[in-house]
Structure 1
């Protein structure tokens, strides 16, 4: 195998941007700017971006029917680490597509590569994000990005071991800890994976003993980190006052100690805004298991019994669809998480990005 593929890239990988597809542009603009407090730029009738800092793009929103996250972008520190990851993908027979100049420009990056990801979320890696000289226009005083990346992504899965294997193979992700939680009689096990000093850049939640995925969307939530406690409190107030749905009230997590709340986005998945999580010290950290998601708070807001029944109906539907895990990168030949035997190693190709209407 190529030497590039063997050398660890841990620490050189940072969550850099998210691509969202939606037809609810007006709601997303209002949610992002007036509620959460981010900087907003309109690019065309079918494209807009949000900024958290001087990087040109942290959220690229394009018009389309998915109402979901369709891609995640990972900032790779240098060209050597970028080549290591690319070599791994090719060594495993995974199709890799080089992004066009237009695609890279929309994301404000250089050297863009795209490849299949779990749950049909295209993964993208890039180097050298472009910095904007335009002053930030946002209600928040700032957000924490830098070496920790822009936050984290949380997904539900019926194949959590395979998803962990995917991020280990591609990014040398490390297990930070686990949380065991019971919600409405359903037992959950959540794995938290890190690729740098941030406590986790990926969280993977699975129902224990049941092959159910209770979430309609590909992601359960996205997290960004407020710079100050006041920023957190003020955005929480704005979400309420502007009439957006609050999923979970302010609370504190057991594992990363982050203070946060969860608002429901116009597309249906949740946006967590957090403050002051722990930063991992690699010399001392050992994985552990926590009982329960929260030390206090994070109580459901406005959820009715009808909402709970609808969630269980959606979970039941997940039994009829096969979850994409990109087996070639996830430990092919190893029995899956439900004990059903090996998963075929065939990989889907990354679909081309459809050009927006002008």
Structure 2
């Protein structure tokens, strides 16, 4: 959160790109283009990108062992705000590094700064995205980006207040609302954070009363917003026909009212394709708590007792590892609602 007398950066921050590290580039190409319907650009044998709009890069995939998201890129509206965010991070004693010219080129930006983020996901900021004159080649009719950014990222955490504090400190993120859900007798609380008019750019889920992270990957899911309901339906059908895993069937969420489904990516985390979420009106919005994730649908697809046991083992293993945090930016003053 901004210090007293300091201008807020809220509204000038937008989720701009995601970097994924994977050894499964061939599967990812099929998933991104043939199933989800995005534009694909091959860079070399170990690098490729997906586009959603005229920006050169929305997803950068590089060869490596993580099978996970390794960085998120945030588009900052202007240089004054960019420098204000950089000054905040440095003032908290957190190291900031300049991205190389090659890294900036791969991400389709003029320059970038990188600094540590929650769960070991590097955070990157930039001011000027590069656009491509090449027409989009994709099965989808389009995706919603613009002032709302390109979608959202969802994390699971044993330290949700720290993640909320981090994004409040760095980007003046605001709490939009919360969801409480009970799954197989385990209580879950999800906090939804916004940095602009999009209902949320970050979601943080935690098991209530249990210091367990039930997800192997750093991210639980990524979200992109389809332009039309037909785009959602057709990509859902393609995911099934091409044999990719489906985590949750089509449904509608209680809080942002987005209609969506969740596919399983080749790296194992989930990918939500949604349509028509609410846009927050800052003059009237008040945070609230919703009971249950969905108004209807979003039922698990193909889960077996073996899947449940595997999830339990993942959660148990998380007790033996320490979640990566950035203590200096985690905002000790942010209440754990």
Spell out the pairing of 1:38-187 with structure 2 (5 A cutoff).
Answer: 38-187=38-187
Q: Judge conservation of contact 1:178–1:191 (CA < 8 Å) in 2.
A: yes
Residue in structure 1 matched with residue 9 of structure 2 by the alignment: 9
- Structure 2: gaps spanning 5 or more residues: none
Matched residue, 2:31: 31
Aligned length, in residue pairs: 336
Q: Post-superposition shift, 1:110? A: 1.8
Judge conservation of contact 2:12–2:196 (CA < 8 Å) in 1: yes
Q: CA deviation at 1:331?
A: 2.7
Distance 2:98 2:5 in 1: 19
Task: Judge conservation of contact 1:199–1:278 (CA < 8 Å) in 2.
Answer: yes
Residues 1:220 and 2:220 aligned together: yes
Tell me what 2:305 maps to. 305
The alpha carbon displacement at 1:332 in A equals 5.0
1:295 aligns to 2:295 (yes or no): yes
SS at match of 1:83: helix
Instruction: Name stretches of at least 5 consecutive residues in structure 1 with no aligned partner.
Output: 338-358
**CA 1:335/1:293 → structure 2, altered by over 3 Å: closer, same or farther?**
closer
SS of structure 2 residue aligned to 1:235 = helix
DSSP 3-state at the match of 2:133: coil
Query: Which residues in structure 2 correspond to 1:261-300 (within 5 Å)?
Result: 261-300=261-300
Q: Provide the rounded CA distance (Å) in 2 between the counterparts of 1:319 and 1:247.
A: 25
TM-score calculated relative to the size of structure 2: 0.97
TM-score, normalised to structure 1, is: 0.92
Contact 2:60 2:107 in 1 (8 A): yes
Which residue in the other structure is 2:251 paired with?
251
Instruction: Note if 1:209 corresponds to 2:209.
Output: yes
Q: Is the 8 A contact 2:168 2:331 kept in 1?
A: no
Please list the CA deviations of residues 18-47 of structure 1 after superposition, one character each: whole Å capped at 9, or x if unmatched.
000000010000000000000000000000
Task: Look up the match of 1:340.
Answer: none
User: Aligned partners of 1:71, 1:334: CA distance in 2, in Å?
Assistant: 24
Q: The residue matched to 1:6 in structure 2 has which SS?
A: coil
Residue 256 of structure 1 aligns to a residue whose secondary structure is coil
CA-CA distance at 1:325 after TM superposition: 1.6
CA shift at 1:333, angstroms? 9.0
SS of the residue 2:111 aligns to = strand
Asked if the contact 1:5–1:84 (Cα under 8 Å) also holds between the matched residues in 2, the reply is no
Work out the CA distance in 2 between the residues paired with 1:297 and 1:32.
Answer: 24
CA distance in 2 between partners of 1:323 and 1:70 (Å): 15
RMSD: 1.6
In structure 2, what is the Cα distance between the partners aligned to 1:210 and 1:49? 38
Displaced runs of 4 or more, over 6 A: 2-5, 333-337
* Secondary structure of 1:320's aligned partner: coil
- Is contact 2:161-2:335 (8 Å) kept? no
After superposition, the Cα gap between the structure-2 partners of 1:222 and 1:334, relative to the gap in structure 1 and judged at 3 Å, is: closer
